């Protein structure tokens, strides 16, 4: 964890008063649990699954949540929690694998289920408890398991069941330990938010007093304490993450902030001019603009493998940034707009069992190369929280609600070799997609919309002549947290209009497709 994140968390009054820890056992929904808890105005963070009781006590949490996971509790090498955490008297909620762990540790048996459950199931509440206060007698829940608790000792009280899972929820008779075989954190469990709220408020005794305004104040105070009189360099891209980071830093240290914009030639259409204009309007700090297009394109010549693209972009970014940063006197710190999903997907969150999905050139590497101390004030926030924080800091709505843009830029949307000509085609197509989404009044209703240039050419007929030209894929998704996403159901008329404009206005394109893949199993970006 970064020093600024640690500082914010350790000095936060309202945060530390009501904090819940999620022990991550490698579940795809672990981050979503943390987000759902924060929606109840209770601060929450992920920690290693094998955190010790002493480390738990140092956090002084109001409650613990054991996440799901892909393993079987009885398998060799399966991740386990320290059994001592159940002796701390701190309320525990085990979800799926977490429930199985808790029951296995406290007197239950876990076995391979006779009938696996993946998807919706009808759940019947069989016993009253604080956890199910206000619940209907029957409700839909989302199941995703092959194992289940087959029996429990008399120390446990079964609370709910489904048709194929007789122990779908439990409560320990003498300890504040609860378990759920289903997933309350996903939207497919309609009463899931109520259940989590019951655990937080009725079981853990939380009042829901944490707010992003508190986080901003605490982060600003922590930045001032850490930075002192030194100068901070911030990489500015024009996206919401770097803009909110810059706004937070400027609020904290004012003219001690210097920002660097590296134009790597992989930006969207007119991006550099827009960033400079926005920066001039909303910040008064020192701004450096680096023209690195030729350098980046030369490095990417002939490269088609996605991870290699990211590595090369990261290397060139470091070299460009390093050269420009050397011109900033008295700089000791580097600020980055790293978010929680970035940290999770790069495998850097807490060195736990979660898989690395992709490389992020803005997570690690750069501070060590430059010899700076790292400041990542947004490291523990989700995208929607960053947007709300931006509004709290007074940033304009258009900037705050701008769709996300990947750190490696258009290189990961230009499949195959990256050249200036292919980038120009992609830029024009992408601008049309965004323009039409805005014209249809759907920009704020969708989470991310962009074009992808495919390394595929196909036959077409234009003006009675045969063509053999590029294909563009349109990607538009809806998401609350960008950890999961579903493809946007855009009107057919809008898609048809986009396709017509792209084919007519972008020279070199004769085919347009629409991506209808969800995350998971796909990712939002194509590379």
Distance spanning both ends of the chain, measured CA to CA: 27
Tokens 């660097």 correspond to what residue?
260
As annotated, the active-site residues are: 96, 183, 185
The four Cα atoms 378, 183, 145, 517 give a dihedral, to 10 degrees, of: -60
Reference 487, options 512, 511, 527, 519; nearest CA is 519
C-alpha 256, offset from chain centre: 30
DSSP 8-state secondary structure symbol assigned to residue 505 = H
Structure tokens that stand for 521 in this block:
């199993």
Among 142, 224, 132, 147, smallest CA distance to 188 is for 142
Residues whose CB is less than 8 angstroms from the CB of residue 56 and which lie 6 or more positions away in sequence, other chains included:
21, 64, 85, 88, 90
Say which residues have a Cβ less than 8 Å from residue 58's Cβ, sequence separation at least 6.
Answer: none
CA-CA-CA-CA torsion sign (11, 14, 20, 22): negative
Residue 77, judged by CB atoms within 10 A of its CB (0-12, 13-18, 19+), counts as exposed
Task: Write the DSSP assignment of 306-317 as a string of letters.
Answer: HHHHHHHHHHHH
Residues 6+ apart with CB under 8 A from 389: 212, 215, 216, 244, 248, 378, 381
Q: Which residues contact 165 (CB under 8 A, 6 or more apart)?
A: 113, 117, 121, 143, 148, 181
In which element (H, E) is residue 355 found?
none
User: CA–CA separation, 198 vs 40, rounded Å?
Assistant: 10
> Which three-class secondary structure state does DSSP give residue 272?
helix
């Amino acid at each position: 964890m970064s020093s600024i994140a640690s500082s914010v968390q350790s000095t936060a009054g309202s945060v530390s008063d009501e904090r819940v820890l999620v022990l991550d056992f490698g579940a795809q929904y672990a981050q979503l649990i943390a987000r759902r808890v924060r929606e109840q105005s209770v601060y929450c963070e992920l920690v290693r699954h094998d955190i010790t009781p002493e480390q738990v006590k140092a956090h002084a949490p109001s409650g613990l949540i054991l996440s799901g996971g892909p393993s079987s509790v009885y398998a060799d090498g399966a991740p386990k929690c320290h059994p001592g955490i159940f002796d701390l008297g701190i309320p525990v909620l085990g979800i799926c694998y977490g429930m199985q762990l808790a029951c296995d540790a406290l007197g239950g048996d876990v076995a391979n289920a006779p009938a696996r459950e993946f998807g919706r199931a009808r759940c019947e509440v069989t016993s009253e408890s604080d956890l199910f206060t206000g619940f209907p007698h029957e409700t839909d829940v989302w199941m995703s398991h092959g194992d289940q608790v087959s029996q429990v000792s008399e120390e446990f009280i079964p609370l709910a069941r489904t048709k194929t899972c007789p122990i779908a929820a439990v409560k320990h008779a003498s300890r504040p330990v609860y378990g759920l075989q289903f997933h309350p954190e996903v939207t497919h469990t309609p009463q899931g938010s109520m259940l989590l709220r019951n655990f937080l408020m009725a079981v853990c005794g939380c009042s829901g007093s944490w707010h992003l305004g508190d986080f901003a104040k605490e982060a600003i105070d922590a930045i001032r304490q850490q930075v002192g009189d030194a100068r901070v360099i911030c990489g500015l891209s024009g996206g919401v993450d770097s803009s909110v980071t810059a706004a937070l830093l400027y609020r904290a240290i004012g003219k001690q902030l210097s920002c660097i914009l590296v134009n790597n030639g992989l930006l969207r259409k007119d991006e550099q001019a827009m960033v400079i204009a926005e920066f001039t309007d909303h910040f008064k700090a020192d701004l450096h603009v680096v023209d690195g297009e030729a350098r980046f394109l030369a490095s990417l010549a002939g490269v088609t493998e996605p991870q290699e693209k990211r590595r090369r972009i990261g290397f060139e970014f470091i070299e460009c940034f390093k050269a420009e940063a050397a011109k900033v006197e008295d700089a000791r710190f580097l600020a980055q707009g790293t978010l929680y999903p970035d940290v999770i997907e790069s495998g850097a969150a807490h060195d736990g069992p979660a898989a690395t999905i992709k490389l992020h050139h803005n997570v690690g590497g750069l501070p060590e190369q430059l010899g700076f101390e790292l400041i990542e004030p947004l490291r523990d926030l989700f995208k929607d929280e960053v947007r709300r924080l931006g509004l709290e800091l007074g940033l304009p709505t258009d900037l705050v609600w701008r769709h996300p843009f990947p750190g490696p830029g258009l290189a990961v949307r230009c499949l195959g070799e990256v050249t200036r000509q292919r980038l120009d085609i992609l830029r024009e197509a992408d601008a049309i997609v965004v323009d039409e989404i805005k014209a249809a009044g759907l920009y704020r209703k969708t989470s991310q919309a962009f074009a992808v240039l495919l390394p595929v050419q196909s036959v077409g007929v234009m003006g009675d002549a045969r063509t053999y030209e590029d294909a563009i894929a349109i990607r538009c998704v809806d998401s609350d947290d960008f950890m999961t996403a579903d493809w946007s159901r855009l009107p057919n008329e809008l898609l048809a209009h986009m396709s017509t404009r792209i084919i007519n206005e972008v020279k070199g394109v004769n085919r347009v497709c629409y991506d209808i893949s969800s995350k998971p199993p796909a990712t939002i970006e194509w590379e």
